[in-house]
Structure 1
Amino acid sequence: MFRKVSLAVAATMLMLGAAYADPIEGNWKTQSGETAAIGDCGGAFCITLKTGKHAGKQIGKMTASGDGNYTGSITDPADDKTYKGKAKLSGSAMKMSGCVFGGLICKSQNWTKL
């Protein structure tokens, strides 16, 4: 009996964890067609490329700043330059930007949740 209750509690906890996942977490299709995974990495969200020439490379780290906005850093995998990063969620779409000069000049991409 105790074993059945333990299994039921464990299953409930797993479902609750998935239900409370942050909306930025998951797999995203980048504007260039690659897949990037975003997941929790100790209080922040790490962005790792899953496909393409730079598969396996971590290219960013973001923290939630409220109302579907995220801030942190983003790295261009082609030249390893890191920029001030920001992301804005809108349903299953996300606008990912890397900025210089305090946010005066930004380059953006639109990503789609898979």
Structure 2
Amino acid sequence: MKTIALAAVATLMSAGVAFAADPLEGFWRTAKDDNGESGLIHVTPCGAKLCGKLVKAYDANGKEMASDNIGRNIISETVSKGGGSYKGKIYAPDRGKTYNSKLSLSGKSLKVSGCVLGICRDGGTWSKVK
């Protein structure tokens, strides 16, 4: 009986680890783009990868604004490479382009960059909101 109880506890503990949220999950405020606008991105699992949808957009003064990109995946196909490093795709609404992304997570800061056809862009540092 003791062996069964220990096995059950071990199974539950390992399941807890398997279902632990990735540190990238949550809400992130983007850096301002070329137009001075920013957004609020909600990062969640999408299959075995991570995706981030634009849930709010802000104008250059920080006031919430309407955007055709609300609901669009800004981050897609993103996977952890370990040590706070991620690779995937990132869409830049101000340029209408999707880049191969490199994300570097450190606490509540996310350094974002991406490249397309050898042209790279610094996406600035995003801040975790919740």
Between Structure 1 and Structure 2, how many residues are aligned? 99
Q: Distance in 1 between matches of 2:75 and 2:24?
A: 13
Q: What's the counterpart of residue 49 of structure 2? A: 44
Q: What's the counterpart of residue 89 of structure 1? A: 105
Is residue 78 from structure 1 mapped to residue 94 from structure 2 by the alignment? yes
**More displaced, 91-100 or 64-73?**
91-100
Q: CA deviation at 1:20?
A: 1.4
Q: What's the counterpart of residue 29 of structure 1? A: 29
Write 1 or 2 for the structure with the bigger share of helix.
1
Deviating beyond 6 angstroms after TM superposition, the runs of 4 or more aligned structure 1 residues are none
Q: Distance in 2 between matches of 1:96 and 1:44?
A: 17
When the two structures are superposed, what TM-score results if normalisation uses the length of structure 2?
0.67
Q: What's the counterpart of residue 67 of structure 1? A: 83
When the two structures are superposed, what TM-score results if normalisation uses the length of structure 1?
0.75
Q: CA deviation at 1:57?
A: 1.0
Q: Distance in 2 between matches of 1:101 and 1:51?
A: 29
Q: Distance in 2 between matches of 1:79 and 1:94?
A: 21
Q: What's the counterpart of residue 98 of structure 1? A: 114
Gaps of 5+ in 1: 1-11
What's the RMSD between the two structures over aligned residues?
2.2
Pair member with larger Rg: 2
**Matching residue's letter, 2:125:** N
- Alignment partner of 1:50: what SS? strand
Deviations 1:14-60 (A, max 9, x none): xx48x811100000011134210000000100011000222111112
Q: What's the counterpart of residue 73 of structure 2? A: 58
